[in-house]
Amino acid sequence: MIETTLCFPLRDDGDDADDVLLIEKRRGLGEGWYNGPGGKLESGETPRDCAVRETREEVGLDVRDLEKAGELTFLLDGEGHTFCHVYRTRSFEGEPTSSEEAHPEWVPVDDVPYDRMWDDDHLWLPGVLAGNTVAGEFRFEGGKPLDEAAFVDHDLEWGVSLGNEN
């Protein structure tokens, strides 16, 4: 199974709601869709280090004090395809800038474009952005690549204890 990360930086926008930093992915899996910064673990890397590195590489933001918010398993045709560690943080330095891989955008949490994201995101991301923790399993069918397969069903558990060691 591929091990990946997603990181959701949040900022107070001065009103009631927060903004979340999303990226429009410019290449690779999920190209053209919105997501958080993130990607695959390199060998010897912890998930937390991976989320920090990917956020720096993709949008030039140095994130700190990541809080573990979710663990998501994506199955393709009954087999484990991706295990994704999800983080959020309010602590970062720098200004988001575009890279070859990603175009960053601050979006009010109530305006997240779920119709332009992975089909599963609307099920777990609102809770994550509201401060909850989640463990989820999502089943896709129809062969590779994953971003062309159909989302079939899922199980979610909220308020899980994820520890903070990874």
Ligand X SMILES: CNc1ncnc2c1ncn2[C@@H]1O[C@H](COP(=O)(O)OP(=O)(O)OP(=O)(O)O)[C@@H](O)[C@H]1O
Which residue minimizes CB distance to ligand X?
Answer: 28
Smallest gap from Cβ 146 to ligand X, in A, equals: 5
Indicate the residue among 71 and 121 with the shorter CB distance to ligand X: 121
Indicate the residue among 28 and 94 with the shorter CB distance to ligand X: 28
Smallest gap from Cβ 12 to ligand X, in A, equals: 25
Express the helix, strand and coil content of the chain in percent, nearest 5 each.
Answer: 20, 45, 35
**Single-letter residue type at 31:** E
Indicate the residue among 13 and 104 with the shorter CB distance to ligand X: 104
Indicate the residue among 12 and 145 with the shorter CB distance to ligand X: 145
Q: Using CB under 6 A as the criterion, which residues of the chain lie in contact with ligand X when the complex forms?
A: 4, 6, 28-30, 35, 38-40, 74, 82, 84, 118, 120-121, 146
Q: Are 130 and 102 in contact (CB under 8 A)?
A: no
Smallest gap from Cβ 21 to ligand X, in A, equals: 14
Cα 72 to Cα 13, 18, 83, distances in angstroms: 28, 23, 6
Dist. CA 20–CA 76, nearest whole Å: 29
Smallest gap from Cβ 2 to ligand X, in A, equals: 7
In terms of DSSP bridges, do strands 62-64 and 91-93 run parallel, antiparallel, or are they unpaired? antiparallel
Contacts of 67 (CB under 8 A, 6+ apart): 87, 88, 89, 164
